[in-house]
Structure 1
Amino acid sequence: MKKYVSIFLTAVLLFMLMVPGLSKANTSTVSAVIDSSLVKALETAVEPLQVIVTFEGEGAPTADHLNLLKQLGISTGITMKSLPISGILATKEQINKLAATPGIKSIYLNKRLTYSNFDANNLTGVDKARTDAAMQKANGGLPVTGKGIGVVVNDSGVDGTHPDLQFGSHLVQNVMGSTNLNAWSPDLLPITYVENVPNTDTNSGHGTHVAGTVGGTGAASGGKYEGVAPGADLIGYGSGAALFVLDGIGGFDYAITHQSQYNIRVITNSWGSSGDFDPNDPINIASKAAYDRGITVLFAAGNEGPGENTHNPYAKAPWVISVAAGEKDGSLADFSSRGTKGVGGTFEMDGKTWTWKDEPSVTAPGVDIISTRVLAPVSSLAITADAELIEPAYLPFYTSMSGTSMATPHVAGIVALLLEADPTLSPDEIKKVLQDSATNMPGYESWEVGTGYVNAYAALEGVMFDKNYGETINAYQTFNSNANVEVERSEFQVDYNPLLLSSNAYSFNVAEGVGQISARIDASGLIGQTGNPLNLILVAPDGTSYSSGVSLLFPLYYDRTVSVTSPQAGEWQVKVDGLHGDAANPVGVGLPETVHGTLAFSKVGSFSGLKDISGNPAASAIQMAVSERLIDGYADGSFKPKQYLTRSELARSLVMGTGIRQSQSVNVKDVSTGDLPFAKAVVTKGAAIRDGVQTQVGVMQLDASGNFNPSGEVDRAALAYSLVQALGLEKQAKDFTGDITVQYKDERIPVKDSASVPAALKGYVQLALDLNILNASFSVTQGPYDLVPKVEASFNPAKKVTRADYAVAITRYYQAWFQ
């Protein structure tokens, strides 16, 4: 699995330290990094290959670099103007020689690319909204672009020299802030704003990337990497990467002061801290003041996941929108910070009682997001990874990053679209429509992902056409069947001393049946402000270590978390260690400190609403399906495992647990009010979140008369269709030809009733068998004179599916979802 370093703010530089998917081939002769795709391609290469070469150094390839290529007989290709990269056509022999040449940093195959901003806008329905005829008509004949809505990018600054972020037109103002903390002055000096600065992002490129995601025009890529709201008016506020509290406050101060001048309605903040929520924190005071003036405030949830209690405290304020980071397949990114289940509270402020919860609001795309690269000074951010993701011609202008820093501006852009559609919307109304229209995310709870994956199209449909959403959101439901997960927490402390290694540990016991343990510490330093480069380690009874790692931004992020799923029972240890610069040095670099921490033990204690499953062979699958919100029982406390599954029940379960987008666009004739939102969702084009471009047909279908037949019983062939379609595998299913086969031991055997499977569903049945979502039935026959028995397989496509059958299938689907 990919590993990500925290890029919250200036940590984008850390992407140069960890680039996944690289390999060294024949390390005795190869000096350059060769990506795995190229290694595989070289095994069978006969014709020249298109490859991307990155040279050591910065700037465009030098004359020496170009001569090196010519000496190897390489004459076909292109070179970058600002980056040390060339795209070339080379033979296997030339590539091998090039790889062994000093000065070559890496060689990558120029394979077909996936464009993450392009994908992200499709995934969340932004592009669908722009091309929707009804929405264009409602918006005066033009697509919604965020036109006229002022969005403040409160970050490291913005490079207004970039073609996508032209200062003076699209970037209507670019400000460099200074806090003027001059201890030697006898007077208190006001904050200084230096306005009309073409480029304020001279130290990281983070803010430029964020601004491009909000509303870059895509001018340097022919519109390919257009931002979410390309018509919005961007206001950049740069303050040295917002490393200090006053810098962040300065952005809010500027937004409020100049709100009328630039119609500022949105402020996006891809930065934060760690610790508990404090409504009196000056950042929270500042965000509340902006909220009071009708400005929608967004904060990144943080990049300290996957442990609980890692949520950015500024994102916990009830008046802001907290954004978690999602993968492009609809799951949650490992690095995305989580809240804490059941934690929250109330407080009084400005004569009102506020309720806060320790959980994100929504999730948005935050992995491998391509957006604008700072041009001046020339940036080498993520240069090696970019060669895999971005066309060579666009590399000087775009770069890829991952983090909640990237997810947050995506939602900020959607907010601008909503405000263009209805400028009267308040911050509370905007937050509600985003949460109500989100897509359930299989396997996650609200303290991890909020209400789900953001859906811009549904949100705009709700605002523009008064459509009601939210009835299918898991976070809003009261379920009949529940897994009672018990979480016990205990506090501990370790008196860390770098000179006394044996004392830097705390022992605790893990009982049988514990599903997960999480440990968290705050390494805030002696004065609580400087941070301490300490590492948190959990040591299992068998000696296995699980480490938090130390962020190079430890002065900004004090918390360390480690989570272990299905831990061994027995005595564990929490160890606190310093940052080791040398394996030969047993003493870690860290300052003495009494480190306080919390241990959390999660265990499924019991189940309710499942009174009739005892003794059923599918009982464990039913329990898992209920615990992961893949199916629900009945109000009378029963599950009815032997009862046939109806189409209305299948629709509800699919929306609950397979990542199905909400929709109100299809007219369904024969479904009752309570089941209607679920039926509409499953039959709509682009229903599955795994269908990133939203072009595939629904995961269930209406008949020729537009009826859903809610009380109809589901058969195995129909179930195969729904579950495979929900995985976004329509093309693979339709491309299948021939008869259905199934794996049996070391051979594939034909399914004898393949002919009875409807032709349109054969590919779906084949994939369901191959993915082990559904199984075949095997029988063994042997005639009196047969030397070996004959094995036969059947699928039984017309056999009705019981609720227990579905529980087994959906738990297998759940495993396929995360493969």
Structure 2
Amino acid sequence: MGGAAAASTAVAAPPAGDTAPGAGEQRTELSGLSGLPELPADGVIVAYKERAEAADSRSAATAEAADKGRKTGQGLRFERRLATGAALYEVEGRTSRAGIDEIVEAFEADPDVAYAEPNTRAYAMATPDDTHYASQWDLFESTAGMRVPGAWEKSTGRGTVVAVLDTGYVSHSDLAANIVPGYDFVSSAAEARDGNGRDGNPADEGDWFGAGECGVTYDSPSSWHGTHVAGTIAAAAGNGKGVAGVAYGAKIQPVRVLAKCGGTTADIADAITWASGGTVAGAPANPTPADVINMSLGGSGTCSSTYQNAINGAVGRGTTVVVAAGNSNANAANFTPASCSNVITVAAGDRQGNRADYSNHGTVVDITAPGGETATRTNGILSTLNSGSTVPGGESYAYYQGTSMAAPHIAGLAALAKSVDPALSPARIEQLVKSTARPLPGTCGGGCGAGLADAAATVAAAGGDSGGGGEPPAGGTYTNGTDVAIPDGNSTGVTSPIAVSGRGGNAPAGLRVSVDIKHTYRGDLVIDLVTPDGRSANLKRSAYDSADDVIATYTVDASSVAADGTWKLRVRDVYSGDTGYIDSWSLTF
């Protein structure tokens, strides 16, 4: 299948000083990572001198493979010739980088060889090398993730500003490059803990309180909530550390409206006005008015006129306003600003694709996005944080859950769309987000809006096409969730079928193949996509890779293949000693 391509690799360990999210975290296989250190090569490229028989003879090259294989104790085969005339030799089974180097040395010692070098991998830089990206299921997992990597093919949010109206910002190296000046709208000096009222410093001084304060009977540490929200939107990507934001090319404008005991409607309404470029008495003009405002905040009651007027003004200035639905497992119509008009109200989904059990719901909800559930810690949303229990301590990362975590996914998505087409109005952005959503894979009681947001489909539609390397709207994904055991050490392998009908025409150039394979040594596995007409595209080759499981999404150019018919995932375990099964896989047209 011409142009079929896949890229996959294991996630590198965190560098020294980078705080990992915690023990027991499942590392996953991801597509398109870059900057990974010393990964084993797939084989060796050898260029022969002109007089050498192996320079143009297949039989001589095959004999060379046998000879060098015997000398190094490796299973080596001649694969093909490159356009340059060099020979490509592949290693059968698994080997180490030291084993590859030994093969290179054996060829270099041959007087007929001009040069020999490892056949290393190159990875696309569009997806990040951030050390905890593997834990961000909310971005890439096929079941309930938001399909963000497909959107990055077209947009990273560059040129946009997202205002985060929250607890402010505590310094974090994974966010610093994407921060623009904000403002502190907390009027009460005592609650702000900064010695004054409103000022130009939106630093988060901590929102902790003790029992008997703020009308409650328990102690509460500082949440650093605004920094967590900001990281989900625009944490830096490709910097070799931490996490990646949904719109990692966007800028974050921290606007402090919450402190000890929360924040007031008056302060929040002024912040909405200022963030969107409006005039607020006593505050300087905003030098970088926001394209998007995120409000992961709220309380009980219907939308007040103060809120609504501020929101209407912001939308009239061209700013998209995104709000959290609330975490009371109740009708969002009874919460504010979730019940306001002219906003995108966001419910939370869990890792299985259900409405999260805490999430508000109802007819005012516009869309659902990943919000996580931390009963299993790693099923929460991982983002930037701080380790201080009261005042700021060291920078860290942590899993949170809530519609507060869901809303910034949509704020980031709005920035991605706005970056593609700066002329998009808030109403048009909302329409794009909703019209390209896919049905929740799980269940939703009470109303979850248009469904689960699909970032790649939204960005593709914002750019004026219906796919083009991104994800399609609802109805374009076909899944087989039946377990299929993979025989150990069996070169024939097994297949799992998916029947596609009623699409007509050919499959897209950006057909996405998502796989979830449980295996105790994924390096043994060779994975192919078999088309309805019997052709195949290799998704993953065997390699020295001791990690478990394959959870990945691959992109295949299937534009020469009719979409309708039975597609198969073929998995072979080419080395004995480890076992596993196909858990599920899907095709997205």
Q: What band does the TM-score fall into relative to the shorter chain?
A: 0.5 to 0.7
- Cα distance change of structure 1 residues 377 and 656 upon mapping to structure 2, 3 Å threshold: same
| Deviation for aligned residue 1:233 | 2.0
CA contact (8 A) 2:333 2:364 kept: no
| Deviation for aligned residue 1:80 | 8.2
Q: Partner residue of 1:126?
A: 148
TM-score (structure 1 length as normaliser): 0.39
Q: Partner residue of 1:686?
A: 513
Q: Partner residue of 2:315?
A: 291
Q: Partner residue of 1:371?
A: 383
Q: Partner residue of 1:518?
A: none
Structure 1 residue 316 corresponds to structure 2 residue 335: no
CA contact (8 A) 1:299 1:320 kept: yes
| Deviation for aligned residue 1:208 | 1.0
Find the aligned partners of 1:470 and 1:111 in 2 and give their Cα distance. Answer: 28
Find the aligned partners of 2:472 and 2:249 in 1 and give their Cα distance. Answer: 32
Residue in structure 1 matching 2:290, options 233, 239, 264:
264
- Cα distance change of structure 1 residues 121 and 709 upon mapping to structure 2, 3 Å threshold: closer
Residue in structure 2 matching 1:246, options 260, 266, 291:
266
| Deviation for aligned residue 1:308 | 5.2
| Deviation for aligned residue 1:209 | 0.7
Deviations 1:705-730 (A, max 9, x none): 622447xxxxxxx6xx88xxxxxxx6
| Deviation for aligned residue 1:265 | 0.8
CA contact (8 A) 1:297 1:321 kept: yes
Structure 1 residue 415 corresponds to structure 2 residue 437: no
Q: Partner residue of 1:706?
A: 561
CA contact (8 A) 1:362 1:435 kept: no
CA contact (8 A) 1:324 1:336 kept: yes
Counterpart residue identity of residue 372, structure 1: T
Q: Partner residue of 1:282?
A: 306
Q: Partner residue of 1:616?
A: none
CA contact (8 A) 1:202 1:376 kept: no
CA contact (8 A) 2:367 2:452 kept: no
Helix, strand or coil at the partner of 2:419: helix
Q: Partner residue of 2:157?
A: 146
Could you tell me which runs of 5 or more consecutive residues in structure 1 were left unpaired when the two chains were aligned: 1-77, 88-107, 136-143, 183-190, 340-356, 382-394, 475-650, 659-669, 711-717, 723-729, 739-761, 769-819
- Cα distance change of structure 1 residues 708 and 337 upon mapping to structure 2, 3 Å threshold: same
- Cα distance change of structure 1 residues 422 and 735 upon mapping to structure 2, 3 Å threshold: same
CA contact (8 A) 1:304 1:310 kept: no
1:196-235 residue pairs with structure 2 within 5 A?
A: 196-201=201-206, 203=208, 204=222, 205-217=224-236, 222-235=240-253
- Cα distance change of structure 1 residues 359 and 228 upon mapping to structure 2, 3 Å threshold: closer
| Deviation for aligned residue 1:216 | 1.7
Structure 1 residue 179 corresponds to structure 2 residue 197: no
- Cα distance change of structure 1 residues 470 and 224 upon mapping to structure 2, 3 Å threshold: closer
Find the aligned partners of 1:697 and 1:332 in 2 and give their Cα distance. Answer: 34
Find the aligned partners of 2:459 and 2:436 in 1 and give their Cα distance. Answer: 9
- Cα distance change of structure 1 residues 208 and 237 upon mapping to structure 2, 3 Å threshold: same
- Cα distance change of structure 1 residues 222 and 193 upon mapping to structure 2, 3 Å threshold: same
| Deviation for aligned residue 1:687 | 5.9
TM-score (structure 2 length as normaliser): 0.53
Q: Partner residue of 2:52?
A: none
Counterpart residue identity of residue 706, structure 1: V
Counterpart residue identity of residue 334, structure 1: D
Residue in structure 2 matching 1:360, options 366, 370, 386:
366
Deviations 1:216-269 (A, max 9, x none): 2258x7244021222222111113344332232132122134686204111000
What is the RMSD computed on CA atoms of the aligned residues?
Answer: 4.7
CA contact (8 A) 1:291 1:427 kept: yes
Helix, strand or coil at the partner of 1:330: coil
Find the aligned partners of 2:439 and 2:509 in 1 and give their Cα distance. Answer: 13
- Cα distance change of structure 1 residues 687 and 423 upon mapping to structure 2, 3 Å threshold: same
Find the aligned partners of 1:433 and 1:452 in 2 and give their Cα distance. Answer: 13
| Deviation for aligned residue 1:192 | 5.9
Find the aligned partners of 2:184 and 2:451 in 1 and give their Cα distance. Answer: 36
Helix, strand or coil at the partner of 1:237: strand
Could you tell me which runs of 5 or more consecutive residues in structure 2 were left unpaired when the two chains were aligned: 1-14, 29-131, 191-195, 209-221, 279-284, 374-379, 483-499, 519-525, 536-559, 585-589
Q: Partner residue of 1:327?
A: 350
Counterpart residue identity of residue 172, structure 1: V
Helix, strand or coil at the partner of 2:185: strand
Deviations 1:518-571 (A, max 9, x none): xxxxxxxxxxxxxxxxxxxxxxxxxxxxxxxxxxxxxxxxxxxxxxxxxxxxxx
CA contact (8 A) 1:154 1:238 kept: yes
Find the aligned partners of 1:301 and 1:271 in 2 and give their Cα distance. Answer: 9
CA contact (8 A) 1:178 1:239 kept: yes
Find the aligned partners of 2:509 and 2:178 in 1 and give their Cα distance. Answer: 39
- Cα distance change of structure 1 residues 290 and 655 upon mapping to structure 2, 3 Å threshold: farther
Find the aligned partners of 1:308 and 1:178 in 2 and give their Cα distance. Answer: 29
| Deviation for aligned residue 1:680 | 5.5
Find the aligned partners of 1:377 and 1:298 in 2 and give their Cα distance. Answer: 29
Find the aligned partners of 1:318 and 1:702 in 2 and give their Cα distance. Answer: 51
Deviations 1:731-786 (A, max 9, x none): 9x755999xxxxxxxxxxxxxxxxxxxxxxx977xx79xxxxxxxxxxxxxxxxxx
With a CA cutoff of 8 Å and minimum separation of 6, indicate the structure with the bigger relative contact order: 2
Helix, strand or coil at the partner of 1:194: coil
- Cα distance change of structure 1 residues 709 and 179 upon mapping to structure 2, 3 Å threshold: closer
Find the aligned partners of 1:699 and 1:170 in 2 and give their Cα distance. Answer: 43
Deviations 1:172-228 (A, max 9, x none): 11322133699xxxxxxxx96300455455543011111111112258x72440212
Find the aligned partners of 1:452 and 1:699 in 2 and give their Cα distance. Answer: 31
Find the aligned partners of 1:413 and 1:253 in 2 and give their Cα distance. Answer: 20
Counterpart residue identity of residue 326, structure 2: G
Deviations 1:582-614 (A, max 9, x none): xxxxxxxxxxxxxxxxxxxxxxxxxxxxxxxxx
Counterpart residue identity of residue 316, structure 1: S
Residue in structure 2 matching 1:273, options 295, 299, 313:
299
1:327-726 residue pairs with structure 2 within 5 A?
A: 327-339=350-362, 357-367=363-373, 368-374=380-386, 396-444=395-443, 447-467=446-466, 473=474, 654=478, 675-676=503-504, 684-686=511-513, 704=535, 706-709=561-564
CA contact (8 A) 2:355 2:445 kept: no
Q: Partner residue of 1:164?
A: 174
CA contact (8 A) 2:356 2:371 kept: no
CA contact (8 A) 2:457 2:471 kept: no
Helix, strand or coil at the partner of 2:253: strand
Find the aligned partners of 2:266 and 2:327 in 1 and give their Cα distance. Answer: 22
Aligned residues with identical type, % of pairs: 26
Counterpart residue identity of residue 198, structure 2: Y
CA contact (8 A) 2:161 2:288 kept: yes
